[in-house]
Amino acid sequence: MNALERLRQCTTVVADTGDFNAMRTYAPRDATTNPSLILKAVQKPEYRSLVEETVAAHRGEPIDALCDRLLVRFGREILSIVPGRVSTEVDARLSFDTEGTIDKARALIALYEAAGVPRERVLVKIAATWEGIRAAERLENEDIRCNLTLLFSFPQAVACADAGVTLISPFVGRILDWYRKRDGVDFAPEEDPGVLSVRRIYGYFKRFGYQTEVMGASFRSTGQVLALAGCDLLTISPELLEQLRASEAPVERKLDPDRARAQAVERERFDEKQFRFAVNEDAMASEKLAEGIRLFVADVRRLEAIVTEAASG
């Protein structure tokens, strides 16, 4: 077996891309998207027709509504390939707006359901701000499953689990980027701050019996991926999936629920004041969360510009 096949024996493999043609090769169970990945996809000639068809079918609707329809169109195409779930992201401009996030999530689910896609196959991606976590808590009570993203710290993870969210996506690579820039060190996988962060979260969740799934995300190398073998899920770019498929490297399970449950770990809780203080105290988490929101907002605006151009053509 190649490394990708070995990894599948202990972890659910997810494709991290909006390019649904690229994911056919790797047979992932689920797929994740975000504004940056969808923007990258719609700029490819083979996907231009999706933009044009979506705009033509709903001409006259507001641009944000057309963008929602485009996101769902990509999600539907992905779900025709993967047997599991697709993650579709709420507009990052709503990251600090609980009610706005709830309304947008409901609207996305309504579009999927109108197209015959059951809500069980959709994860609504929401930034793991305090407001986003509160929105997800309420949405989960409506059977709208949530994937909390832009997650860089342990307090974010614990608050998500206590809110009963379906899944979290801790960002491995972006954590590494911050520490590599600060320290000028190229960390080995076993010392990688992003890897260690996910291991801590995974161990805590299993120790205290949380049902929230942990899906490592934002990988920079196959070494990071394999250092988290055994995690509930790992969402991996097509480039790294191809490297794993081409590799014969052995895969050792690094995360094990039974070992995690035997840990001596103290339980932690974060109310709003404690949450905000803890995230603020973590320079990496506060900086990368703010940066991530800004980057996603910028790509949402670029996507809107493409849809606006198509609508005026």
Number of C-beta neighbours around residue 264 at 10 A = 5
> How far apart are the C-alpha atoms of 97 and 293, rounded to whole Å?
13
Is residue 104 flagged as an active site residue? no
- In angstroms, the first-to-last Cα distance of the chain is 50
Residue 304 tokens read as: 């809107």
Pick the catalytic residue from 104, 125, 206, 288: 125
Give me the sign of the Cα torsion angle 303, 309, 310, 311.
Answer: positive
The total number of residues shown for the chain amounts to: 313
In DSSP terms, 14 is beta-bridged to 30, 235
Closest CA to 74 of 88, 62, 57, 85: 88
Give the separation between CA 99 and CA 275, rounded to whole angstroms: 20
E strands, the chain, in order: 12-16, 30-32, 86-89, 122-127, 146-151, 167-170, 213-216, 233-236
Catalytic positions are: 125
